[in-house]
Structure 1
Amino acid sequence: MKKILLLIAVVLGATTINAQEMYGEATYMSKVKMDNSWMEGDREMTPERRKRIEENMKKMTEKTYVLKFNRTESTYKEEVALEAPGQGRGWGGMMGTMMAGEKYKNINEGMYTEQRDMMGKTFLIQDSLPQLEWKITGESRKIGNYTAMKATATMPSGEFDWTNFRRRRGGNAEEEAAQKKKDSIAQATGDLTEMFEKPDEIVVTAWFTPEIPVQHGPDIYGGLPGLILEVNAGNTTLLCSQITINPEEREEIKPAKKGDVVTQEEYDATLKQKMEEMRQRWSGGRGRGRGR
C-alpha cells in the first residue's frame, strides 16, 4: 500500500502545474445487467412481446455519456438521440425521467446541481455531493493507455435506483408459486412493490488513474486522486471509451439555471407522488377494461 500511495504522490506532484489549467472530456458507455426472470413462466407473454420488452430495456440502459471537467468542476450528461413521435410517454417516459438529467459538480463547494424534467415541469436539484469512504486496494491494470488503480466503497441504494431492483423469489416450490401469483397481480395493478425488492446497500468498485490528476468521475462518483475510468455499482457498469485532454475547443463548465430549486429529498418525494398517481390511473383504466 505504501508503494501505491508513493506512486500516486509522485504522479500528482509531477502534474500539479499542468492541472491548474486542465480541461478534459471523457466519454462513458453504460450497461445494466437486468433481472428478466419475472418474464419466465408467463404463458400469456408471446416470444415477440418478450423480445420487444428486452429491446426497450436495452435501449433504456445502454447509453453514452460525456463528462467535461476542469480541475474543480465537471458536467455530466447523456448524448440523447432524437425520439420518434409518440415515444417518451407513459411509464417509459417516467423511467427516462428517473435516469436522465444534466449533472454539474463542484468539488471545492462539495455540491452538485442536476436539471431534470418531470411530466413537463423542470426541476433544479441542488444538494451535497455524497461522501464515499473509498478504500484503495493496491490492485492496478491498464485501461486504454492509462494505468488504473482499484478502489471500493459501499453506498445506500437509492429509492428510485430501479437498476438494482430484483425479483422477489420464494424459498421453495410452494412459495415460488405464490410469488408468481403476486407477480400477476402486481402487473395487473401496476404496484410492483410485491414483485421487486432492492438491496439496502450496493458495492461500488472504481478504477481511477492518477495520470489525470482530477477528482472527477462519471455520474455521482468522484473523490479519488485521479479520474475514474470505470465504475461497477450494483448491476451498472460505466466504462470510459475515449478521453481528450486540453483540446483547442473548450466548453464553459457551469450549472444549469432553469427550473424550480429543490433538494434531492424533495424531488424524490414529488417523483414518488407522481408515480403513484400514474399507477392509480393506469390501474383504473385496466380495471374498467376488464369490466366491459
Structure 2
Amino acid sequence: MAAFTPWITPLHQTWQEVSLTGWTTLYEGIPAHIDCLGPLLYELFQEHWAEIQVGHVAEGGVLELAFKKPPALCVLYDGYLTVATETWHLHLCLEEHQGGPHRKTPPELRRKRLVSRAALYRRLNPQGQPRMWGIQFWNGAEEPLLQIFLPSPFLGPEEDYLPEGKADYQKLSLYERICAIYVQGKERIPYEDNPLKRPYLAVCRSSRCYPSRNYQPVVEALESALREANLDVQVITSGCLEVCQQGPVVFYSGDCTWYKRVTPQVARQIVFEHLLNGCPLKDHLFPGD
C-alpha cells in the first residue's frame, strides 16, 4: 500500500444534470480512493456532525437523517465504513468487502458494492441560483448511494427558511473547505494519517456465538495490556463479526485477523504476542488451519 499523503491530486472532472423541473446539479469529482474518502468522511462525521445530514434521494422519496450528538462509532470493518448513533446507523463500502473471515463475497459483487465515484455538488434553481450543497456517492454499478447534505445559508437552526435577504453565507465555509482540500487540492488534508486506517480491536457482543455476553472482562484485559505495552490501539465492542461460533470473538483491524475463544488471558497474549511481536496465536485464529 502506498504511503499516506495529505495532498489530493485533483481529478479536474466536472459535469451537470438537468431535471425535468429545470433544476441543474453541478458536480465536481472527488477521488474515490480510501486515502481521500477516509479522511473526508471521518472529518465530517467526527468534527462536523452537527452541521450535516445524511440520506438518499430518488424520484418519489427522500431520506434525511440528522445527528443529535457525535456518533458513538465511526470505523472501517471489512471494507465498510460504519457510523452509528443511538437510534440509527449507516454503512458505506469504501474498500472491497471480502465477506468476513471466509472471504465469501464474489469478486463481481465486491466491485459492485464499492464506492467507485464521488462528487461535491451544487444544485441550482431554474433561475440559475445555487440553493443546495452536498456530496454524492455512486457504487460500481453507477447506482446512487449515500448523500451528505451540507449546510445551506438559506435555512435557520430549525430547518426553516430565513427571511429574504437574510441568508447566512458563512454556512458555505464547510462546502468551500471540502472543495479546496478534496476537489482542488489547494489545501492539505488535516491529518497525518488516514483516520479510518488506524488499528483497533473489536470485541463481539453478539449473543449468537456467546450467549452469556460476558464480554467486558475481555475488553478490560485488552485495554490493560495495551496500556502496559504502550500501544495506541483502540478497543471497541461491536455487533456480529461474521464468525458466529466459538465466542468470545475478537477482530484486529491492523491485519484483518479474527480470534475465537478469547478469554482475558488470551486477550493479553493477543496484545503482547501478536500486536507487539507480530506472532499471531495460531490456536485461536479463525478460521484455523
TM-score normalised to the size of structure 2? 0.28
Higher RCO, Cα 8 Å, sep 6+: 1
